[in-house]
Amino acid sequence: MVNKVLITGGAGFIGGNFIHLITRKYPNYKIYNLDSLTYAGELEKHKVLEKNENYKFVKGDITDKNFVFNLFKEEQFNYIVHFAAESHVDRSIDNPEIFVKTNVLGTQNLLDASRCIKIDKFIHVSTDEVYGELPMDPTEFFTEETELKPNSPYSASKAASDLLVRSYYQTFGLPINITRCSNNYGPFHFPEKLIPLTISRVINDLKIPIYGDGRNIRDWLHVVDHCRAIDLVLHKGVDGEVYNIGGHNEQSNLDVVKTIIKSLNSSEELIDFVKDRLGHDKRYAIDPSKIKKLGWEPVYSFEEGISETIEWYLNNKSWWTPLLTR
């Protein structure tokens, strides 16, 4: 029997990288990439997979209940790995409604359809932002037991979907796991996000906007390490459990920008401090002890990962340049 794996949001950054990992690692799996191709979704990254017999793209919207149910009944998936989400905090401040619709109601449709076909595992990919913010004390970290205190419409919508997924395990016995990751970076990152935005701006000698004083701290995780962790949870995660995924690579936004500027031999005069984002969390940091007990360790240090990422963007201008117009 061939395992059928549905990846939602596979035209995006993390979902796209996960598809590359899983199609290589499990050639006997049938991989379905479900994506509605919003502004941040693109299929160019999957051109090399189009001739693979174990890969198939399906265009569709997870908020369309009839479409989701018909797809699930037709294909009878074994595993669901749910990446699809509206994820940009600034956009959630401008238009919270679409975040609730996609992140909450879309997730409900997938859960209900999964119940109907009795799937083997439902992985819900979430974010450390659902925990709110940490104090600047370097000894404090998010754990799986940390209270959910989201501070933006984006993180609130993700927290709501997390709780919905949990309830389907508690009420219906649906075999689920929830993963919560720190900030990802790496190849195919949409250029509105901090690291690819900074790289593109430095390359084009443009000002780099930084919110507030730039001292907000994030725990940076290379997307390949994140995808390896999700793969592990998919196959070895204990049903009903939450797993935090972080790299212990804490960097302030300002330090990240300065690192990129230095690597590209540019000037810090490009830095432009702008009015701070509403509800801007000061610090995120994850304790990944639980997932390490499953056998996961990050491969990338931040220094190695950011160097490789900068090199990737230098060598792939034809991919990201057209996206800037979006």
Q: What is the pLDDT of residues 39-69, one digit of tens each?
A: 878 999 999 998 899 999 999 999 999 999 9
State yes or no: pLDDT of 92 exceeds 70.
yes
Averaged pLDDT for residues 81-95: 85
Residue 279 or residue 131, greater confidence: 131
240 burial (CB, 10 Å; 0-12 / 13-18 / 19+) is middle
Q: Which pLDDT belongs to residue 86?
A: 86
Inside any domain, residue 324: no
State yes or no: pLDDT of 103 exceeds 80.
yes
Which position has the token pair 């804490």?
A: 250
Inside any domain, residue 103: yes
Q: How many CB atoms lie within 10 A of CB 120?
A: 14
Inside any domain, residue 255: no
CATH number, position 113? 3.40.50.720
Q: Which pLDDT belongs to residue 324?
A: 86
Sequence-ordered alpha helix ranges (H) in 1-105: 13-25, 65-75, 89-94, 96-100
Inside any domain, residue 211: no
CA distances from 255 to 182, 205, 252, 259, 302 (A): 17, 19, 5, 6, 12
| CA separation for the pair 231, 214 (Å, rounded) | 34
Who's near 303: CB < 8 A, 6+ residues apart?
Answer: none
**Please, which pLDDT band fits residue 38 given cuts at 50, 70 and 90?**
confident
Range of the domain at 240: 4-185+220-246+285-300
**Please, which pLDDT band fits residue 243 given cuts at 50, 70 and 90?**
very high
Question: 293 phi and psi, to 5 degrees?
Answer: -70, -20
- DSSP H or E run through 279: none
Which position has the token pair 């693109």?
A: 42
Q: What is the pLDDT of residues 282-302, one digit of tens each?
A: 999 999 999 999 999 999 999
Which position has the token pair 């790995």?
A: 81
Q: What is the pLDDT of residues 177-214, one digit of tens each?
A: 999 999 999 999 999 899 999 999 999 999 999 999 99
Domain count, the chain: 1
- What secondary structure does DSSP assign to 136-161, as a single string? S-TT--B-TTSPP---SHHHHHHHHH
Both structure tokens of 233: 């949870």
Inside any domain, residue 70: yes
Inside any domain, residue 129: yes
Averaged pLDDT for residues 31-38: 95
State yes or no: pLDDT of 1 exceeds 70.
no
Inside any domain, residue 42: yes
| CA separation for the pair 121, 124 (Å, rounded) | 10
Q: Which pLDDT belongs to residue 22?
A: 97
Residues with active-site annotation: 128-129, 154
* Mean pLDDT taken over the chain: 95
State yes or no: pLDDT of 101 exceeds 70.
yes
Choose among 317, 325, 307: nearest CA to 44.
Answer: 317
Find out whether 37 and 11 touch, Cβ atoms under 8 Å: yes
Choose among 208, 211, 184, 169: nearest CA to 129.
Answer: 184
Q: Which pLDDT belongs to residue 105?
A: 97
Nearest 5°: the CA angle 95, 98, 100 is 110
CA distances from 66 to 15, 61, 249 (A): 23, 10, 42
Inside any domain, residue 320: no
| CA separation for the pair 160, 163 (Å, rounded) | 5
Is this prediction's pTM over 0.75? yes
- What secondary structure does DSSP assign to 190-233, as a single string? -TTSHHHHHHHHHHTT--EEEETTS--EEEEEEHHHHHHHHHHH
